[in-house]
Every structure is written in C-alpha cells, then in structure tokens.
Amino acid sequence: MGFWMLLIYLVITFSILFILLCISPHGSGPIAATSRVFFVHIPNWSYSLTIKLLGVEGTARFKYYAMYIFTEPNPFFQMVYLALSIGGYTIYYIYGFPYIPNPYVQEFHIYIGSFLYFIALLTFISASIVSPCIIDKQNLKYHLELFPYDNILYKPSDCSACKIQKPARSKHCSICKFCIGKQDHHCIWINQCVGYSNYKYFLAFILSHSLICFYAGQVGIMILIYIIQNDKLLSVVFIDKLGNEVKGSWIVIFQYMLQRLPSFVFVIILCLIMGLTLGGFFVYHLFMAGQNVTSNERIKMMKLEDNGKNRVNVYNLGFWKNINEVLDAVEF
C-alpha cells in the first residue's frame, strides 16, 4: 500500500514538474494542452473566482498587492521562507527531539540534523545576498568579452532601460530593474535574480534544502514508527466518534497520530513533499547547467523549436567545463 502510494506520488510530482518546466504552453498536443491548464486556464479560473468572492473593487485591490509582491523587489517570500523554515525546525525541536534517542533514531541525528539545517540556512542567506551579477558601465567590458553573441538568441543590442549594450546571455530583469549577466530567472524566494555570479549559491540552496527535507522527513517517520511500536498502537482498539470499536490499522493509526501530533505529522509530510520537489528541481538545474543552458534560454529555445527552428548551443563546452564555469564565476 505504502509503496504504491509513494510510486503514484512520485509519478504525479515529476509529471507536473516536467510539464511546468519543460513543455511550452504555446505548442499543440495533449502535453502542451496540460501545460496550458497551469499557465492559462488556472490563472483565468482564479481571476473569475476572485471577482465572485471579492467583487470588482476588492479584486483590483487584491491584484494591486499581488502585483506588488510578485513584480517589485520585496522580502515577502523571504519572510514566508523563514517562517516555514524556523517554524519547521521549532516543531521538530518541541515534538520530535524529546523522542530521541530511541531504538530507531540515535542521538547524533539531533546534531547532524541541526547542523544540516544551519548549512541550509546559510545557503539561503548566501543566495539572497550575493549579487546575481548586475551589469553596469564599470564591468560592461568584462561581460561583453565573457560570452560571444550567437546571433540566434543574442544579437548586439542596447538595453533601453539601463542605456548600455546588452552582453550576450544577459537579460534585463523588470523586477530587479538591472541587466543581469547570464540571467537564469528571477527567484521570489531569494528576492533577486539567479544569474552568473550567484547561480552556484542557488544550486547549493536547492540541494541543501532537498537534503535537509529528506533527512528530517526520514527521521520524523522513524520517530512516528517508534511511538507506534512503543505504545503498541497496532494491537490497541480505538473508539471512533460514534463509539464503535476500531482495530488499529495503519489508516486508523495515521488518523490518530494526526490528532495527537498534528503539527509534527504535517511538517513531516511537508518535508517529504518538499524534499522530492526540490530534489527534482536540483536535478533539472544540474542537467541545464551541465548543458550550459539557462532557464531563460530554455524558454527561448522552446519557442524556436515550436517554429521548427534548431539552434546549436555555442556556449556548451562539455559537462565538466560547463559545471566548472558555474563554480568559477566571478562575483560582481
């Protein structure tokens, strides 16, 4: 039962990730149509629902704040991250740590888990504060020489906002309001772009969070198993709301644990979901970095392919050299 649930969950998660990250909503066929559900239909349905719930004026105000959160530099999602992250650790500290050590989880897991969490926090801070690579008049020459124009995705042109020549692989970010070197995407969680200089910190950020979420999820499950074994919940008879006697099956025990330790069980499930999602996201970014393609270029290439055109990636130096380029990037 558990294995099949996990398999179904894995298939659904990676299918959604694949559709969101790799399939253009502009194409034809059933997968592009599914992509349109996420990028076109769900936003349209959400808009109609908001009009019904908040009215026209309320929707306009809601839209204004939503636009501000998503289109202006602001720390909203960094605060959300910190609340989730510190809150999650605190819940482990209060509800999980008192059950350690036990026959399934030795004491050192408290220290390794806390250390990994600290590392994950550091990667979040690094990815948030290391500049993505803002191009200005002082470093423009360096960036113009860094990558050649491929004359397909990048041709010599000026940025009308920054009033400078746009180096190949750079993109003007409408949120950061600067041209960013080797721009990958604007990340709301770190409140800035992911670009040439901070890409390695971004990779460390998603990798460390995938690992700590998996680790915490596994430790959490082992703690729950210990409680189930220690309290002999599998042989206990439960009384439901109607007063009927119910034998301790896994479903019944799960419902019981959800009532006994709701926040702890919720955080364990969240950790497992985030561990898988971020792990998939890391593998996707490693694959892209290995090919020396940015997320921005990936989108542009999909549009080219939709129009039946192909492009040779002149920036691809081979897997290890590409990875080395990411790790060796100078900070600006």
Residues with catalytic function: 187
User: What type of residue is 274?
Assistant: M
Among the listed ranges 40-48, 64-72, 172-180, 277-285, the one in contact with Zn ion (CB under 5 A) is: 172-180
**Distance (Å, rounded) from C-alpha 271 to C-alpha 216?**
7
Cβ 172 to Zn ion shortest distance, Å: 3
Among the listed ranges 122-130, 178-186, 252-260, 295-303, the one in contact with Zn ion (CB under 5 A) is: 178-186
**Which of 100, 133, 140, 179 touches Zn ion (CB under 5 A)?**
179
Cβ 158 to Zn ion shortest distance, Å: 9
**Which of 169, 171, 186, 209 touches Zn ion (CB under 5 A)?**
186
127 binds Zn ion (CB under 5 A): no
188 binds Zn ion (CB under 5 A): no
143 binds Zn ion (CB under 5 A): no
Nearer to Zn ion, 162 or 268 (CB): 162
236 binds Zn ion (CB under 5 A): no
Let me know: does 180 contact 134? Beta carbons within 8 Å: yes
Tokens of 211: 């690992």
Among the listed ranges 19-27, 99-107, 165-173, 232-240, the one in contact with Zn ion (CB under 5 A) is: 165-173
Among the listed ranges 25-33, 111-119, 189-197, 259-267, the one in contact with Zn ion (CB under 5 A) is: 189-197
Nearer to Zn ion, 133 or 176 (CB): 176
Nearer to Zn ion, 173 or 276 (CB): 173
Among the listed ranges 171-179, 228-236, 293-301, 317-325, the one in contact with Zn ion (CB under 5 A) is: 171-179
**Distance (Å, rounded) from C-alpha 198 to C-alpha 40?**
31
Whether residue 43 is preceded by a cis peptide bond, meaning omega within 30 degrees of 0, is no
Cβ 181 to Zn ion shortest distance, Å: 11
**Which of 105, 120, 127, 193 touches Zn ion (CB under 5 A)?**
193
Would you say how long the chain is, in residues? 332
CA 289 to chain centre: 16
CB within 8 A of 149, min separation 6: which ones? 155, 156, 168
**Which 8-state DSSP code applies to residue 98?**
G
172 binds Zn ion (CB under 5 A): yes
**Distance (Å, rounded) from C-alpha 59 to C-alpha 52?**
9
Long-range contacts of 107-111 (CB under 8 A, 24+ apart): 109/219
Q: 119 burial class (0-12, 13-18, 19+ CB within 10 angstroms)?
A: middle
130 binds Zn ion (CB under 5 A): no
**Distance (Å, rounded) from C-alpha 14 to C-alpha 72?**
31
**Which of 100, 162, 219, 289 touches Zn ion (CB under 5 A)?**
162
**Which of 175, 236, 257, 270 touches Zn ion (CB under 5 A)?**
175
Cβ 19 to Zn ion shortest distance, Å: 25
The neighbour count for residue 34, using CB atoms within 10 Å, is 17
Binding residues for Zn ion, rule CB under 5 A, total 10
Helical spans, DSSP H, in the chain? 2-22, 30-36, 42-71, 76-91, 108-129, 140-146, 199-230, 250-260, 262-291, 295-306, 319-327
**Distance (Å, rounded) from C-alpha 2 to C-alpha 328?**
43
Cβ 190 to Zn ion shortest distance, Å: 10
Nearer to Zn ion, 176 or 223 (CB): 176
User: Please, which of residues 281-310 interact with Zn ion by CB under 5 A?
Assistant: none
The contact set with Zn ion (CB under 5 A) reads 159, 161-162, 172-173, 175-176, 179, 186, 193
